[in-house]
């Protein structure tokens, strides 16, 4: 008989490794996309209660660090990944939730369970658009021929091992009105969107360098759409790390955080195209704080066409007008103090400083994609970093009792037969505002275009263009602001005088608008003066030189003001 008394129980080598604390660092990669994934992982892992799972988690500007045993780290990463898929990938529209068209057999509870169909939308949809797969298991239906109303038809029935359920299955189908649409019956779990991911916290033999982060790694996979979508067509995005190996392989960490990108993204979908926004900063801590602030504009859209609240009305479809509404929603919800009066919003300067300036500047990355067959292709990537200017502009405009919502409505061209063309002009106007350039020429064109054969209210865009152009010129030249005032005042006088003549008066306005040279313009004004007895302001003659050098702009302001006054006075 062998005695065991003196035998020491040695831990197995595997056990030693498993109990040792590991440190996994996801470094900041200074790319809006990958850093968004990093913030996404941080936010979700935090919600999953990393400390309860005995993992220490720490975010600094340099990166995100996890400390724990191999098992605990793996468990936290798996749990976070499940939560991510559930919250961002397997989404159902309101209709799908109501219909609950999917079903599976629950073997433990011994019953059939309905569930809503799922799809991935938004940023998640761009990363992974494949159909849902089973989460547990499934069995193939048998196909038999049955006689129904004298005809032989094929019918899917449960396979022999489940045939004892057939009667209950038939009544489940007839009670719910559901149809068998697949070749298999799901068992013990619904379908879900499940992009594959590698979680390999334990270090092993190095296999090469990662194409994205440049680190040597023991676990590399081929780069693909789910790691780096929109890889085609925008080489600038592709080649931000030149230390990567070839052919392009990525480490498990980059592949993993790449799936968490949707968490930090906002999106809106229409006309088969996506507009997507990521906030980005050179400080990760700041990105994390901004993420929390920006949650306030998130909404659950019943159709999953967007994930933020639009505070500017409807019909926004093109990239710049969409970005404009996105930033306006942030301004109203996050950057201003809450009041009930639309025009009495106080800019919250402390918040503005926190969000946009403190620690490191905040930028927004805008991505516009368009459908190419079944996939979406990146069309434009554009960083926007002038949000301080824009938020202050919004505030200034609304403090002057001008409703931006009405301005945006006033820029729709309802005369365009095709829907997608109705906001073409508005998109260009928004682009110019975002890029701090003049819009008076466009507004003048639009105002006369929409008033050609009918009367359309232009007061909001009239008020807006005057305030906006004055802000643009502020600091450059006070004289320009005076010129705007003179032009507007002259326009008002003219509009007022010709209003009583109705259509004839409108004809005179269009004639005045047609003049190309300063002297022709003045001649036409003289004619109107004589015809209608208008009193043209003496300022015009006093500012003769400025009038000539700024003639085009002067005329544009004058015409907008004239048309606006004409519309108001000729109402009855």
Q: Which residues bind Zn ion (CB under 5 A)?
A: 210, 212-213, 251, 254
Q: At closest approach, how far in Å is the CB of 241 from Zn ion?
A: 9
What's the rounded Cα separation, in Å, for the pair 304 and 125? 11
Q: At closest approach, how far in Å is the CB of 203 from Zn ion?
A: 14
- 561 contact partners, CB below 8 Å, separation of at least 6: 462, 466, 487, 488, 489, 490, 491, 492, 495
DSSP per residue, 347-415: E-HHHHIIIIISSS-EEEEEEEEEEETTEEEEEEEEEE--HHHHHHHHHHHHHTT--HHHHHHHT--TT
Q: At closest approach, how far in Å is the CB of 250 from Zn ion?
A: 5
Q: In this complex, which beta carbon is closest to Zn ion, that of residue 125 or of residue 195?
A: 195
Q: In this complex, which beta carbon is closest to Zn ion, that of residue 212 or of residue 263?
A: 212
Q: At closest approach, how far in Å is the CB of 246 from Zn ion?
A: 15
* Virtual torsion, Cα 349, 350, 352, 355, nearest 10 deg: 180
Residue 503, CA atoms < 13 Å, CB-side half-sphere:
2
Q: At closest approach, how far in Å is the CB of 22 from Zn ion?
A: 17
What's the rounded Cα separation, in Å, for the pair 132 and 104? 14
Q: In this complex, which beta carbon is closest to Zn ion, that of residue 221 or of residue 497?
A: 221
Phi/psi of residue 395, nearest 5 degrees: -65, -45
- The encoded tokens of residue 382 equal 């554009």
Q: At closest approach, how far in Å is the CB of 103 from Zn ion?
A: 41
Q: In this complex, which beta carbon is closest to Zn ion, that of residue 123 or of residue 210?
A: 210
Q: In this complex, which beta carbon is closest to Zn ion, that of residue 96 or of residue 221?
A: 221
What's the rounded Cα separation, in Å, for the pair 253 and 202? 12
Q: In this complex, which beta carbon is closest to Zn ion, that of residue 241 or of residue 438?
A: 241
Q: At closest approach, how far in Å is the CB of 65 from Zn ion?
A: 15
Q: The dihedral of CA 260, 261, 266, 267: what is its sign?
A: negative
3-state SS, residue 169: helix
Q: In this complex, which beta carbon is closest to Zn ion, that of residue 63 or of residue 132?
A: 63
What's the rounded Cα separation, in Å, for the pair 187 and 282? 47
- The encoded tokens of residue 37 equal 């994934």
């Amino acid at each position: 008989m062998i005695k065991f008394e003196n035998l020491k129980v040695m831990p197995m080598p595997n056990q030693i490794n498993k109990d040792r604390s590991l440190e996994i660092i996801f470094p900041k990669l200074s790319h809006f996309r990958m850093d968004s994934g990093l913030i996404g992982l941080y936010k979700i892992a935090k919600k999953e209660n990393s400390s309860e799972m005995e993992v220490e988690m720490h975010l600094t500007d340099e990166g995100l660090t996890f400390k724990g045993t191999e098992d605990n780290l793996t468990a936290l990463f798996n749990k976070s990944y499940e939560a991510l898929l559930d919250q961002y990938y397997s989404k159902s529209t309101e209709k799908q939730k109501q219909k609950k068209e999917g079903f599976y057999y629950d073997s433990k509870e011994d019953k059939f369970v309905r569930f809503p169909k799922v799809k991935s939308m938004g940023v998640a949809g761009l990363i992974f658009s494949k159909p849902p797969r089973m989460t547990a298991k499934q069995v193939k239906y048998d196909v038999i021929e049955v006689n129904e109303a004298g005809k032989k038809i094929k019918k899917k029935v449960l396979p022999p091992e489940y045939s004892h359920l057939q009667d209950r299955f038939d009544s489940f189908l007839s009670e719910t009105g559901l149809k068998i649409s697949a070749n298999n019956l799901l068992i013990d779990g619904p379908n879900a969107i499940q992009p594959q991911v590698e979680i390999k916290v334990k270090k092993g033999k190095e296999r090469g360098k990662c194409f994205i982060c440049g680190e040597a790694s023991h676990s590399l996979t081929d780069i693909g759409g789910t790691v780096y979508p929109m890889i085609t067509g925008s080489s600038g995005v592709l080649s931000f790390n030149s230390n990567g190996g070839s052919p392009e392989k990525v480490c498990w960490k980059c592949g993993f955080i790449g799936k968490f990108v949707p968490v930090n993204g906002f999106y809106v979908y229409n006309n088969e195209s996506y507009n997507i926004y990521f906030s980005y900063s050179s400080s990760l801590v700041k990105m994390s704080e901004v993420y929390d602030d920006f949650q306030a504009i998130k909404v659950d859209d019943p159709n999953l066409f967007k994930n933020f609240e639009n505070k500017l009305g409807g019909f926004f479809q093109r990239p710049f007008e969409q970005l404009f509404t996105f930033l306006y929603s942030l301004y109203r919800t996050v950057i201003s103090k809450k009041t009930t009066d639309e025009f009495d919003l106080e800019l919250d300067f402390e918040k503005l400083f926190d969000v946009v300036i403190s620690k490191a500047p905040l930028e927004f990355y805008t991505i516009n994609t368009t459908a190419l067959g079944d996939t979406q292709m990146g069309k434009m990537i554009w960083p926007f970093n002038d949000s301080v200017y824009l938020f202050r502009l919004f505030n200034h405009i609304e403090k002057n009792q001008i409703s931006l919502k009405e301005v945006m409505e006033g820029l729709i061209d309802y005369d365009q037969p095709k829907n997608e063309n109705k906001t073409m002009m508005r998109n260009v106007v928004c682009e110019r505002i975002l890029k701090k350039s003049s819009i008076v020429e466009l507004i003048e064109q639009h105002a006369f275009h929409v008033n050609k054969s009918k009367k359309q209210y232009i007061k909001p865009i009239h008020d807006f263009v005057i305030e906006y152009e004055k802000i643009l010129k502020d600091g450059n030249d006070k004289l320009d602001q005076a010129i705007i005032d003179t032009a507007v005042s002259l326009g008002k006088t003219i509009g007022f005088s010709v209003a009583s003549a109705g259509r004839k008066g409108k004809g005179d306005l269009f004639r005045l608008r047609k003049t190309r040279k300063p002297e022709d313009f003045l001649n036409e004004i003289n004619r109107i003066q004589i015809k209608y007895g208008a009193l043209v302001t003496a300022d015009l003659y006093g500012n003769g030189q400025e009038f000539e050098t700024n003639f085009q702009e002067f005329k544009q302001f004058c015409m907008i003001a004239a048309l606006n006054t004409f519309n108001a006075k000729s109402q009855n």
